[in-house]
Amino acid sequence: MTNTLHRFGPAESFRDDYVVFAISSRGKNDQGALPKLRRFLEMAVPFKPVNLGDAVHGGALRPCKDMKPTSHWKREAKPDFQAVIDGLDSPCTVAAVFDNRVAAEDFVKAVREADLGLSVNISTSVEGAEQCCFAAGIPRHSVGYSLGFEGKTERLPEANVMMLSTMCGHGMVSHSLAKKMIDWVKEGRRTPEQAATYMTRFCSCGIFNPARAKRIIEAAARGESA
C-alpha cells in the first residue's frame, strides 16, 4: 500500500500535510496488535488531527447509508474520531493526519514514549519528516522516496485537480469529483470547507487531508496554483 506516498505537489505544498501511520507486519508483530493500533489512534486525538482513519472502515468523515431527506440541511461535517477508534476491529494500517508540523512532532514524541512496538511512518515532504524525527530524537530507519508520476502523463489532469485527487492514494477520490468541487466553489454553489468535506467522505482509509484540500480549492477557485 503506497497510498500516502505519491501525493502530488511540490514539497512546499505539504507544509500543512503530515500523515503519521502505524502498521503491524504479518507474522512479525501482528499478534496482539489490535489494542496497540487502537491506542495509537486514541493518542492522536489530543494533538488535534484533521483526519483519523483505518484501512478497513475509513476516516473520521464517512458516507451515510441511510440518509433522511431532511438531513441535507443538517449534514454532519464534523469529524467523528471516536467512531474511528470504536470501529477498529481488526489489525490494519491506522493513520492520523495533521495540518501542522508541531502537532505531528509532538504526536511522534508521544508515540515513541508509548513504545507500542508497531512500525510507525511519517509521510510528508522529505524535509518535514526529517524535522519531525529530529524533534523527537529518533534517527530515521528507512525512507521511501516518491519519484512522482511519469510515462503517459498526458492522461493526467491539471495540477490543482491532481493535488486533490492524489490525497486519496487508493484513488477513491476521482479527478472528476475534484474538478467539479473546484468549479462549484468557483460558482459560489458551495464553500471550500463543504467541497473538501464531500471529497473526504470518499477516502476509504482516512488519510485525505481536508485542511490541505480546502486551501487548494480556495486557490484553484481563484484561478491560482496551490
Partner 1 sequence: MKINPDKCVACGNCTYICPMGAIYIDPRIHRATINRDECVECYSCYNGLSQEHLNPSFVRFVRKTFQMMRIRFDPEPDVCPTGAFEPDELTWPRVVRRAFSDPRVPHESTGVHGRGTEEVKTNDVSGRVKLGEVGFTIEFGRPGVGVRFRDIQKMSMALARAGVAFEKKNPVTSLMSDESKGEIRADILDEKVLSAILEIKVPVSRTEEIIRLVWEIEKQVDSPVALGVGARCDENGEENVVAPILEKLGYKLERAKTNIGLGRITNVEVSEQQAREPVGARS
Site residues for partner 1, window 117-146 (CB under 8 A)?
117-126, 129-130, 132-133, 136, 138-146
CA distance 129 to 9: 16
User: In the window 58-117, what residues touch partner 1 (CB under 8 A)?
Assistant: 63-69, 72, 75, 92-93, 108, 111-112, 115-117
Give the end-to-end CA distance of the chain in Å, rounded to a whole number: 27
CA distance 85 to 60: 9
Find out whether 18 and 100 touch, Cβ atoms under 8 Å.
yes
Interface characters, 205-224, with partner 1 (x: CB under 8 A): x-------------------
CA distance 65 to 153: 36
CA distance 210 to 197: 7
Rounded least distance, CB 34 to partner 1, Å: 13
Stretch that binds partner 1, among 25-33, 42-50, 80-88, 213-221 (CB under 8 A): 25-33
Helix (H) or strand (E) holding 96: strand 94-98
User: In the window 30-49, what residues touch partner 1 (CB under 8 A)?
Assistant: 30-32
Q: Are strands 18-23 and 94-98 parallel, antiparallel or unpaired?
A: antiparallel
For position 6 contacting partner 1 by CB under 8 A, the verdict is yes
Rounded least distance, CB 66 to partner 1, Å: 7
Cβ-based nearer residue to partner 1, 50 or 196: 196
Rounded least distance, CB 79 to partner 1, Å: 16
Find out whether 126 and 143 touch, Cβ atoms under 8 Å.
yes
Cβ-based nearer residue to partner 1, 66 or 78: 66
Cβ-based nearer residue to partner 1, 126 or 224: 126
Rounded least distance, CB 84 to partner 1, Å: 15
User: In the window 180-199, what residues touch partner 1 (CB under 8 A)?
Assistant: 180-181, 184, 189, 198
C-alpha distance from residue 2 to each of 53, 123, 132 (Å): 16, 10, 20
